[in-house]
């Protein structure tokens, strides 16, 4: 998994490439913990995400909860396979997906 972060003012764009699973989700969680100070808009770009497991979903849920009190979180460019996982798990009702 590769994580690329781009800060634009008080917005943070996090591009995740590869697999977000049990092995890699702690890395994303740590990156988010170290990056959300003074951020009021968090944007995930999943255009290159190939797979997400339940542990990856937990990281997204945790980020969503953290951003609720600070501002907003959006998930963009979700591949069809990942979108199916979001739909099956009910995450389409929880997350803002564009």
- Given pLDDT bands bounded at 50, 70 and 90, which one contains residue 77? very high
At the topology level, CATH places domain 2-97 in: Transcription Regulator spoIIAA (3.30.750)
Contacts of 98 (CB under 8 A, 6+ apart): 74, 75, 76
How far apart, in Å, do the first and last CA atoms of the chain sit? 22
Looking at residues 45-74, what average pLDDT do you find?
96
The residues spanned by each domain of the chain are 2-97
Instruction: Give the 3-state DSSP-derived string for 36-53, with helices as H, strands as E and coil as C.
Output: CCCCCEEEEEEEEEEEEC
How much is the pLDDT for 3? 97
pTM metric for this prediction:
0.95
- Given pLDDT bands bounded at 50, 70 and 90, which one contains residue 18? very high
- Chain centroid to Cα 74, Å, comes to 8
Looking at residues 24-51, what average pLDDT do you find?
96
């Amino acid at each position: 998994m590769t994580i690329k972060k781009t800060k634009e003012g008080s917005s943070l764009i996090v591009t995740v490439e590869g697999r977000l699973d049990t092995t890699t989700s702690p890395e994303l969680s740590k990156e988010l913990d170290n990056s959300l100070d003074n951020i009021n808009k968090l944007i995930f770009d999943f255009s290159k995400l190939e797979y997400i497991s339940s542990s990856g979903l937990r990281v997204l849920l945790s980020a969503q909860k953290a951003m609720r009190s600070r501002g907003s979180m959006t998930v963009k460019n979700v591949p069809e396979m990942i979108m199916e996982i979001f739909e099956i798990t009910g995450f389409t009702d929880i997350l803002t997906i564009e």
